[in-house]
Amino acid sequence: MNKQQLIKLFTRFGIFVIIAIFIYDIYSHGSIEHPGKAGYKAECSECHGDNGEGIKTLVPPLHNAAFARAHLDSIPCWIKFGMNHPITVGDTLYDQPMYPNKMSDVQAANIINYLCSDFWQIDTQVNAQWVTNHWKNCQ
Amino acid sequence: MRRLIFLCGFISLVLNSCNNGKKLPFYGPKTVSQKIVDGKQEVDSVNYSIPGFTMTDQDSNTVNEGTVNDKIYVADFFFTSCPSICPKMMKEMGYVYDKYKGNGNIQILSFSIDPERDSVGRLKDYAKRLGNIDGTKWHLLTGNKDSIYELAKKYLVSATEDPDAPGGHIHDGNFILIDTKSRIRGYYDGTDDESVKKLMNDMDILLSEK
């Protein structure tokens, strides 16, 4: 193999690598992650599951959009202060205490918006002020 | 005869390579015993083992060291009203249960560190919530509170009461692997998927250990 052939080979390889990086870049940044997803993973997914599947009949799943619609105003309180009473979701009674979470109003709003858009297909978008107002009225 | 030796060699090689011949460690303080063998003094070190205990499970059955005699078991400490790591631990233990529920040599013991509240009835309800688990395979245990806290110490894990902690108790999320002779062979993080996979791998190693 002479010098010219070697240069040609390297050039071709270089072009291939650049194209590969370009394609990878499009794929990896193509979809922007929801800002509430990281918060959900950190604070909620351990019990409720990565996809909101819950745990058997111990921890309720978060898939029930009808339930979420009916209880949207309670959700900020549950997220922040936890829950210490049984709750019926669908036709199952769950009786597992939920622990309080330290989080800011912005984080809570992001998580609720993530749940609304990715889990419940609810168009409502909440903001930090909405969360703070609800926190004032938590029992 | 040579063929036979080769065959045996080959078989042991294959069997060994399955688990890379890996041996699990022994945890806990060793005790030294001295014996006189053929008029000479020999020093023998004995591995630590879990002492006997008596508890009651979700079906009101007595569970003691005899229940796990000659069996490999996984132990953990939890309580039903635990708001923090327990649900996740139970989910992970559920994977262990699902994998080994057909294996007569495996048992699971989950000790409640809140035994006064966790009555047999409450444990029975919890067992149903875990998917109606078989009470002869996976025992949810209650008993004398002091004995349970003492037992946690014997498993070399921490469990304490603390009114300030969520649910009023502090405990680590360890799964503890115990062999057929009540010796501790591994600790795993019961809230971590990867660690629990390693536990199941180590259980296979222990099952093939004779």
Q: What is the ipTM of this complex?
A: 0.74
Tokens (6 digits) for B3: 């063929």
Measured between beta carbons, the chain A residues lying within 8 angstroms of B130 are 56, 58
Q: CB contact, 8 Å: B130 with chain A?
A: yes
Residue numbers in chain A where pLDDT is lower than 50: none
How many Å separate Cα B76 from the centre of its chain?
A: 7
Tell me if B91 and A55 make a contact (CB, 8 A cut-off): yes
Strands B40-46 and B184-189: unpaired
Residue B112 · residue B73 · CB < 8 Å:
no
Q: B110 and B138 in contact (C-beta within 8 Å)?
A: yes
B208: its two tokens = 């093939």
> Does B88 lie at the interface with A, CB-CB under 8 angstroms?
yes
- Residue identified by tokens 């004779």 is B210
Size of the A and B interface in Cβ pairs below 8 Å: 43
Q: Which residues of A touch B168 (CB under 8 A)?
A: none
What average pLDDT does chain B have?
90
Are B90 and A55 an interchain contact pair (Cβ–Cβ within 8 Å)? yes
CB A34 within 8 A of CB A118: yes
- Residue linked to tokens 């609810």: A122
Q: B158 near B170, Cβ under 8 Å?
A: yes
Q: How far apart are CA B45 and CA B174, in angstroms?
A: 27
In B, minimum Cα distance to A45 occurs at: B88
Span A98-115, pLDDT tens digits: 988 889 999 999 999 999
Beta-sheet pairing, B62-64 with B54-56: antiparallel
> Rg of the Cα trace of chain A?
23
The pLDDT score that the predictor gives to residue B9 is: 52
pLDDT at residue B107 greater than cutoff 70: yes
Q: Return the pLDDT at A15.
A: 81
Q: Which of A55, A57, A97 sits opposite B83 (nearest CB)?
A: A97
